[in-house]
Chains A and B, each alone.
Chain A
């Protein structure tokens, strides 16, 4: 077991050493998806704004507090959802590289995280604008508490990508399940609804891990307070996921080439 963890850590170290590779590839990936459009990368920002606008319109709720709640919730949700759904096919998409180069697997994992993070950065511009608009332009101290939350969420992404990426290779049907679970999870996570009213809502709020990742970012901005319970859940969950991810990486890093 120690040897597996050591190999996993070595892969990550080597991957971090190759950061120029994954940074460049991620930048190209994001650029490529908009190369032929007139809107270009602005469409990433518009997508987000349209989504927030649509939900506000559908629910007919223009309370500034709800606008902030929704804007922050959707920002985190989009990042989490994109990280998870794209992770499953991660290594399949890199098959040619994995079979043709000796780059560490973590290069592909970081490329994926970076790609999702760059895309989220455009939505972040929209989120900041919406929150400033809703609060009348005042910045509270809560924004500072949200920064480590954002960092922690991004730090969780490579672990999630490793686990789901490898599971996706071992069980190709995962893609189908993950797509559908995430679609359902959007409705089961308090992104656009308040967790007040009814036993089910409260239960979903407490036991849904996504809730806590949304809350460590959203609650400080909403109330200037730090959600300690949610932070505890997120710290534990991310640490656990990283342990599993490093072990899986150590075990499969040289086996994956035969499984693709």
Chain B
């Protein structure tokens, strides 16, 4: 059965010794060289929750609360420092849907490459190819290099490719959409279909309206810690109350 179990999850990582940039600003300037080299950031701390088939979890919190980090731990990009994450089911993520698109390659080739990167087999790519091309409304442009695409065409291709799979567990960092008004409507329908078909969803978003239409549960986060986990409305109320205080 599809499930996600997170127990006492913690993630710490070393702060780099940067010569410039925001991290240096965060560092205590009086810290010794030795301390700086060893300074660590606690990105997630003691997070626990459990999701079963049919659960749709909203990650709620201000920027920097750890929502994206938690999604990346669930996906497997970050390895937890403490605690454990157990997922059962085919896991897919919609993080950076433009990743890996090559300017010089045709749309068709880009679909193939993106499919390979996603771990699709040749047969799966071929099976989805026509549907992706039709959905992205590229027509003959699909055999032209990507660099000749308008922004809208590029966005439609990325969206159509990224959403052509049927994950059992779907991780999303913000709701995605693409294109002009017409396409946005299509994109919304497709996202809704995908979300309904998935067993479990974890969605990080700042938009309460989207969370209300999509999610059943909420996890309120602040500075890497879980403040509240429960029904979505209660979680949103908790977050609002907490933000006011």
Residues of A within 8 A of B (CB): 18, 20-21, 24-25, 28, 31-32, 35, 96-97, 99-103, 254, 257-259
Q: How far is the CB of B144 from chain A (nearest CB, A)?
A: 13
Residue from B99, B103, B105, B112 within 8 A of A101 (CB atoms): B99
Q: How far is the CA of A242 from the CA of B113 in the complex (A)?
A: 29
Q: Specify which of A31, A101, A257 lies most central, judged by the most chain B CB atoms within 10 Å of its CB.
A: A101
Q: How far is the CB of B157 from chain A (nearest CB, A)?
A: 16
**A97→B99 contact, CB < 8 A:** yes
**B116→A24 contact, CB < 8 A:** yes
How many residue pairs bridge A and B at CB < 8 Å? 47
Residues of B within 8 A of A102 (CB): 75-77
**B78→A254 contact, CB < 8 A:** yes
**A259→B79 contact, CB < 8 A:** no
Given known pairs A28-B105, A258-B13, A259-B16, the reply for A101 and B77 (CB within 8 Å) is yes
- Digitize B82-100: 1 where CB-to-A-CB distance is under 8 Å, 0 elsewhere: 0000000000000110011
9 interchain pairs, CB-CB under 8 A: A18-B119, A21-B116, A21-B117, A24-B112, A28-B105, A32-B104, A32-B105, A96-B96, A97-B99
CB of B102 within 8 A of chain A? yes
Q: How far is the CB of B95 from chain A (nearest CB, A)?
A: 6
Residues of A within 8 A of B76 (CB): 102
Q: How far is the CA of A24 from the CA of B104 in the complex (A)?
A: 14
**A28→B102 contact, CB < 8 A:** yes
**A100→B95 contact, CB < 8 A:** yes
Residues of B within 8 A of A24 (CB): 112-113, 116
Residues of A within 8 A of B113 (CB): 24-25, 28
Q: How far is the CB of A121 from chain B (nearest CB, A)?
A: 20
Q: How far is the CB of A96 from chain B (nearest CB, A)?
A: 6
CB-CB contacts below 8 Å: B96-148 with A: 96, 99-100, 102-105, 109, 112-113, 116-117, 119, 122
Residue from A21, A257, A259 within 8 A of B77 (CB atoms): A257
Q: How far is the CB of B241 from chain A (nearest CB, A)?
A: 34
**A100→B99 contact, CB < 8 A:** yes
Residues of B within 8 A of A32 (CB): 102-105
Q: How far is the CA of A20 from the CA of B121 in the complex (A)?
A: 9
**A258→B14 contact, CB < 8 A:** yes
CB-CB contacts below 8 Å: B7-24 with A: 13-14, 16
Residue from B77, B103, B112 within 8 A of A99 (CB atoms): B77
Q: How far is the CB of A254 from chain B (nearest CB, A)?
A: 4
**Besides A254-B78, A258-B16, A258-B78, 6 other A-B contacts (C-beta < 8 A):** A24-B113, A24-B116, A32-B105, A97-B100, A101-B77, A258-B14
Q: How far is the CA of A21 from the CA of B99 in the complex (A)?
A: 14
**A257→B78 contact, CB < 8 A:** yes
Q: How far is the CB of B42 from chain A (nearest CB, A)?
A: 13
Residue from B14, B77, B116 within 8 A of A100 (CB atoms): B77
Q: How far is the CB of B220 from chain A (nearest CB, A)?
A: 25
**B117→A103 contact, CB < 8 A:** yes
Residues of B within 8 A of A21 (CB): 116-117
Residues of B within 8 A of A97 (CB): 99-100, 117
Q: How far is the CA of A228 from the CA of B99 in the complex (A)?
A: 48
Residues of A within 8 A of B14 (CB): 258-259
Q: How far is the CA of A31 from the CA of B105 in the complex (A)?
A: 9
Q: How far is the CB of A166 from chain B (nearest CB, A)?
A: 15
Residues of A within 8 A of B109 (CB): 28
Q: How far is the CB of A255 from chain B (nearest CB, A)?
A: 8
Please, which residue of chain A has its CB at the minimum distance from the CB of B78?
A257
Q: How far is the CA of A18 from the CA of B99 in the complex (A)?
A: 18
Residues of B within 8 A of A28 (CB): 102, 104-105, 109, 113
Please, which residue of chain B has its CB at the minimum distance from the CB of A25?
B113
